[in-house]
A = this chain, B = another copy of it.
Amino acid sequence: MDSRNIRLAVIPGDGIGAEVVTEGLKVLEAVVGTKVETTTYDLGAKRYHETGETLPDPVLDELRGYDAILLGAVGDPSVPPGVLERDLLLKLRFQFDHYVNLRPVKLFPGVETPLGGARPEDIDMIVVREGTEGLYAGTGGVMRRGTSHEIATQESLNTAHGVERVVRYAFEKALGRPRRKLTLVHKTNVLTYAGDLWARVFDRVGLEYPDVETDYCHVDAASMFFVSQPERFDVIVTDNLFGDIITDIGAAIAGGIGLAASGNINPDRTAPSMFEPVHGSAPDIAGQGKADPTATILSVAMLLDHLGLAQEAARVEQAVADDLVERLTGWAGRTTHEIGDDITARVTG
C-alpha cells in the first residue's frame, strides 16, 4: 500500500451524503497527502430518477477494482422504500462479500450520552455484525396480495460457511483487545434453527480461543443491557438484523448517530471494503451544513486501518477525540465544513 497511491471510489449518495463525504475526504487527503486518488460515482436517488439505474453491472465491475469505497448515505423519500437500500447499498455489501459489518460503540470523553451515569470506560465495545446473510437475503414472498387472505413471508438464511467466518473474525478481534471478551447475541430460544447453528458454531470456534471469555445474550436482553449495563460488553458478534438494531442503540448511547462509524469489510480482500457512517441520508437537513461529518471521518479512520495505514488511522481518531473534548467547552454550532476544517487542522498540525 505504501508504494503506490490509494485508489478510492467515492459514493456520496443522497441527502447529507455529499456534505459529510467532502469533509471525510478533506481529512483523508490531509493525512495521506497526494497518495489518494478518488473517483466519484453518482449513484443514488438522482441517477435512479434520471435513468432508472441503481447500480448497473458495469459500474459494479468497475468498483471492484478500487482499494476501498467511501459511501455517504443512500435513501430518499422520492424513491419507493427498499429500492436504493436493496439494489444499491445491500447489493454492494452482498456482491463484494462484506461479511463483516464492523461497528465500534465507543463513548469519547467529552461527548454527552443520554445515559446519566455512564463514563467513557463503560461504553467501549465493537459490534461485529454479519453482513451477507440472515433476513437480509431478501428471500420471501407474497400470496393473494391485497386480499384478506394475503400471506407474506420473509426468510432468514444462515449458512455454516457464513456464520463461521464472521464468528472467527470476531474471536480474532476479541483476542486483540485488553478484555478479550466475546458475546454472542441472538434469540436462540425462539429462532431455534438459526440460533442453534449460530450457537454451535460459536461454541466450536471458541474452543480454538481459550483466552477469549465467551458469553451469550438474547437480543432482547442485550438491547436492555446496552442501556442499563453497557459495561457488560467488549466484542459482540451477531446476525445481520440484530446487528442493525443493536448498533443503532449503540449509536444512541455513545452520543448519537452523528458519531457512529462503520466498515463493511471483506476480510479476504476478494473485493474492496466499504466505509460509511451509520446514519442515513437525513433529507430534512440536507444542504444546510447541519450534518455532523464526524461519523464519516471516523469511518475514514477505519478505512485507513483496513488499508494497513494504522498510524494514519490513529492520527485521525486522535484528531476526532481532541475535537470532541473541545465540544465540552461549548464549541457547538459549527457547520459541517467547520467541523471538517477543525479536524483537518488537527490532523495536519
Contact = CB atoms under 8 A, between A and B. Distances in A.
A312 interface: no
A259 interface: no
A244 B220 contact: yes
Interface string A122-157: 000000000000011010111010111111111111
Contacts of A115: 114-116, 227
Interface stretch (A27-35, A58-66, A191-199): A191-199
A227 to B, nearest CB: 4
A256 interface: yes
Interface stretch (A82-90, A268-276, A284-292, A315-323): A82-90
Interface string A213-238: 00000011101111110000000000
Interface stretch (A2-10, A171-179, A246-254, A296-304): A246-254
Copies of this chain, whole number = 2
A245 interface: yes
A190 interface: yes
A1 interface: no
Given A223-B248, A224-B249, A190 B90 contact: yes
A205 to B, nearest CB: 12
B140 A160 contact: no
Contacts of A220: 244-245, 247-248
Contacts of A219: 244-245
A257 interface: yes
A181 interface: no
A226 to B, nearest CB: 8
A38 interface: no
A349 B190 CA distance: 43
B228 A114 contact: yes
B148 A160 contact: yes
A329 interface: no
A196 B142 contact: yes
Contact of A248 (B141, B191, B192, B221): B221
A227 B245 contact: no
Given A115-B115, A135-B191, A151 B142 contact: no
B190 A86 contact: yes
Contacts of A155: 153-156
8 contacts: A82-B189, A141-B193, A148-B160, A151-B160, A152-B197, A220-B247, A224-B249, A227-B252
Q: Which 10 A-B pairs have the closest CB atoms?
A: A116-B116, A227-B252, A150-B160, A152-B197, A220-B248, A140-B193, A154-B156, A224-B248, A224-B252, A154-B194
Interface of A: 75, 81-82, 85-86, 90, 113-118, 135-136, 138, 140-142, 144, 146-161, 164, 187-197, 199-200, 219-221, 223-228, 241, 244-249, 251-253, 256-257
Given A138-B190, A156-B156, 6 more contacts: A135-B156, A140-B192, A153-B158, A153-B193, A154-B191, A155-B155
